[in-house]
Amino acid sequence: MSTRTVPPRVVLQSADIRRALTRISHEILESNKGAQDLVILGIPTRGVTLAERIATLVGEVGGVAVPVGSVDVTMYRDDLHRHPTRAPQRTQIPPGGLDGRTVVLVDDVLFSGRTIRAALDAVGDIGRPAAVRLAILVDRGHRELPIRPDFVGKNLPSARDERVNVRLVEIDGAEEVTIGS
């Protein structure tokens, strides 16, 4: 019996990603009652690119430049023994730090919640924000930890063995979200 490989299915195209990020940006502004005391931190790799895009959109709508940075979670992960270690990336905290500000963590896909738990630990070591919110482009379910995003681009129910791939033009030369085996 032969197994047939099914090509990944495109679930978000460039225009869909742009709309989702625009909606997330508006929701962030609404829930924060403006852009004051807001800091947006992306989780490498694609979360940083998404954070930069969201910060630009929030700044355009809110009329103020929103500080954006990144927080590497590599050394905070609890599953390093199961996954090959990648080289730690640079954590960049905007001037003014995080203390007393609302931090929006941004990542591309939310799956088990372990990356976000690691990001919360990293943020706690850096400063004491007034609040931490979570913005995710794709929420695929299957949480292992009690983590829920505040802002979601697309809920994408998936099987555990399926793979969700986010490709962004700045990193991958293409712009889409696919799901496949």
| pLDDT tens, position by position, 125-181 | 999 999 999 999 999 999 999 999 999 999 999 999 999 999 999 999 999 999 998
Q: How many CB atoms lie within 10 A of CB 66?
A: 24
Higher per-residue pLDDT: 85 or 67? 67
Considering the domain boundaries, does residue 55 fall inside one? Answer: yes
Contact between residue 116 and residue 103 where contact means Cβ atoms under 8 Å apart:
no
Considering the domain boundaries, does residue 110 fall inside one? Answer: yes
Among the listed residues 65, 60, 69, the one whose alpha carbon sits nearest the alpha carbon of residue 40: 69
Considering the domain boundaries, does residue 1 fall inside one? Answer: no
Considering the domain boundaries, does residue 43 fall inside one? Answer: yes
**Sheet of 151-155, strand order:** 68-70, 38-42, 102-110, 131-139, 151-155
Considering the domain boundaries, does residue 84 fall inside one? Answer: no
Q: Which domain holds residue 158?
A: 9-77+90-180
The size of the chain, in residues, is: 181
Q: Which pair of tokens denotes residue 47?
A: 């979360």
Angle at 8 between CA 45 and CA 23, to 5 degrees: 55
160 vs 30: CA distance, rounded Å:
34
- Please give the mean pLDDT across all residues of the chain: 93
Considering the domain boundaries, does residue 82 fall inside one? Answer: no
| Domains in the chain, number | 1
Considering the domain boundaries, does residue 2 fall inside one? Answer: no
Considering the domain boundaries, does residue 83 fall inside one? Answer: no
Model confidence band, residue 88 (pLDDT cutoffs 50, 70, 90): confident
CATH number assigned to the domain comprising residue 113: 3.40.50.2020
